Amino acid sequence: QKEVEQDPGPLSVPEGAIVSLNCTYSNSAFQYFMWYRQYSRKGPELLMYTYSSGNKEDGRFTAQVDKSSKYISLFIRDSQPSDSATYLCAMSAGNTGKLIFGQGTTLQVKP
Amino acid sequence: GAVVSQHPSRVICKSGTSVKIECRSLDFQATTMFWYRQFPKQSLMLMATSNEGSKATYEQGVEKDKFLINHASLTLSTLTVTSAHPEDSSFYICSALNRASGTVTYNEQFFGPGTRLTVL
Chain A nearest C-alpha distance from B15 (Å): 23
Q: Do residues B101 and B2 lie in contact, with contact meaning Cβ atoms separated by under 8 Å?
A: yes
Using a CB–CB cutoff of 8 Å, tell me whether A98 touches chain B: yes
Smallest Cβ–Cβ distance between B107 and the set A6, A45, A97 belongs to A97
Q: How many CB atoms lie within 10 A of CB B57?
A: 17
Reading across the β-sheet that carries B67-73, which strands appear in turn?
B4-7, B19-25, B76-81, B67-73
Burial of B10 (0-12, 13-18, 19+ CB in 10 A): exposed
The per-residue pLDDT for B102 is: 58
Q: Can you give the three-state secondary structure of chain A, one letter per residue?
A: CCCEECCCCCEEEECCCCEEEEEEECCCCCCEEEEEEECCCCCCEEEEEEECCEEEEECCEEEEEECCCCEEEEEECCCCHHHCEEEEEEEECCCCCCCEECCCEEEEEEC
Could you say which DSSP state residue B86 is in? G
Over pLDDT 70: what percentage of chain A? Answer: 98
- C-alpha to C-alpha distance for A27 and A111, rounded to whole angstroms: 39
Residues of B in contact with A88 (CB under 8 A): 43-44
Q: Looking at residue B52, what is its pLDDT? A: 84
pLDDT value, residue B37? 96
Q: What are A42-86's pLDDT values in tens digits?
A: 899 999 988 888 899 999 999 999 999 999 999 999 999 999 999
The list of chain B residues with pLDDT below 50 reads none
Between B91, B109, B116, which is nearest A97 by CB? B109
Inter-chain residue contact A95 with B105, CB threshold 8 Å: yes
Percentage of chain A with pLDDT > 90?
A: 75
Give B-chain residues touching A6 at CB under 8 angstroms.
43
Which of 43-72 (A) contact B at CB < 8 A? Answer: 43-46, 49, 51
Q: Nearest to residue B33, comparing CAs of B109, B99, B95?
A: B95
Confidence of residue A9 (pLDDT cuts 50, 70, 90): confident
Q: Where are the beta strands (DSSP E) in B52-89?
A: 57-58, 67-73, 76-81
Please judge whether B111 and A32 are an interchain contact, meaning their C-beta atoms are less than 8 angstroms apart.
no
Residue A42 vs residues A36, B74, B94, B115: alpha-carbon distances, Å: 12, 24, 11, 9
Nearest CA to CA, how far is B16 from chain A (Å)?
A: 25
Which pLDDT tens digit goes with each residue over B46-74? 999 998 888 899 999 999 999 999 988 88
Tell me if chain B has a CB within 8 Å of the CB of A3.
no
> In the prediction, which pLDDT does A80 show?
97
Determine whether the interchain pair B32/A97 forms a contact, defined as Cβ–Cβ distance below 8 Å.
Answer: yes
Interatomic CA distance for residues A79 and A109, integer angstroms: 7
CB pair distance less than 8 Å for B106 and A104: no
Find the farthest-apart pair of alpha carbons in chain B and give their distance in angstroms, rounded: 46
Best probe of the B interface among A31, A37, A41, by most B CBs < 10 A, is A41
Q: Does A43 contact B114 at a Cβ distance shorter than 8 Å?
A: yes
pLDDT in tens, A75-97: 999 999 999 999 999 998 876 67
The one-character DSSP state at B104 is S
**pLDDT for residue B23:** 96
